[in-house]
Amino acid sequence: MNAPLSPAPLAIAPINDTDVETVVTLWQRCGLTRPWNDPHSDIALARRRDNSTILIGRNSGAIVATAMVGHDGHRGWVYYVAVDPDCRKRGYGRVIMAAVEDWLRQAGIAKLQLLVRRENAQANAFYLSLGFAESTSVMFAKWLDGRDPTP
Ligand SMILES: CC(C)(COP(=O)(O)OP(=O)(O)OC[C@H]1O[C@@H](n2cnc3c(N)ncnc32)[C@H](O)[C@@H]1OP(=O)(O)O)[C@@H](O)C(=O)NCCC(=O)NCCS
């Protein structure tokens, strides 16, 4: 039987210990890892408290989508939004982001913010399609261990 062309069902659940290596590999395949971010540490930190988690989307048991979501007590943030390169344009990105929004609503958070690299045209188009508007605010950043700024 051929795979369906319309959006296939995506089962969403928080990450398990056994998912970690598959998720890191997916992030690497999606170009989301950076030398200054250790994905294993990022996952461990996001799982440490109940104000953040990593949502996993599975189709037929296979991990095809992820999103790290959390809040700081005021705003919600999302990172590591990824859809398997072999499974794009099927609506999985939209579905995992809807789960992110639900997770934040349940936490009582009213606004979701996110950062996109300017050169990431596909992600910019994706978020515009989902109803996000570009902010006019400037982002400032500082490493708290004193190292030089990273891009
Ligand atoms: C961005 C990403 C998550 C989109 O996932 P996806 O499953 O292909 O997205 P969907 O199929 O749910 O698409 C949702 C909407 O975004 C639009 N969209 C998705 N990818 C797009 C692209 N490359 N160019 C233009 N529009 C795009 C779709 O057309 C769709 O709009 P519509 O419903 O109005 O037709 C995926 O391409 C990805 O993992 N990219 C690499 C990692 C990344 O850059 N993540 C974001 C970091 S900030």
Output the domain CATH number for residue 40: 3.40.630.30
CA of 121 to the centre of ligand 1 (A): 10
Tally of domains in the chain: 1
| Domain-located, residue 84 | yes
Q: How far is it, in rounded angstroms, from Cα 124 to Cα 77?
A: 16
Residue-level pLDDT at 9: 87
88 lines ligand 1 (CB under 6 A): yes
132 lines ligand 1 (CB under 6 A): no
Per-residue pLDDT of the chain (151 residues; tens, 9 = 90+): 444 455 568 999 999 999 999 999 999 999 999 998 999 999 999 999 999 999 999 999 999 999 999 999 999 999 999 999 999 999 999 999 999 999 999 999 999 999 999 999 999 999 999 999 999 999 999 999 999 999 8
Residue-level pLDDT at 1: 44
Atom number of ligand 1 nearest to Cα 114: 48
| Domain-located, residue 97 | yes
Residue-level pLDDT at 151: 86
| Domain-located, residue 6 | no
Q: How far is it, in rounded angstroms, from Cα 63 to Cα 83?
A: 9
Q: Model-level pTM?
A: 0.94
| Domain-located, residue 89 | yes
* Domain with 111 in it: 11-129
| Domain-located, residue 4 | no
Q: Mutation test of ligand 1: which of 89, 128, 139 has the most ligand atoms closer than 8 Å to its C-beta?
A: 89
Taking CA atoms, 88 is separated from 24, 83, 114, in Å, by 18, 6, 20
25 lines ligand 1 (CB under 6 A): no
Q: What is the 3-state secondary structure of 25-44? A: HHHHHCCCCECCECHHHHHH
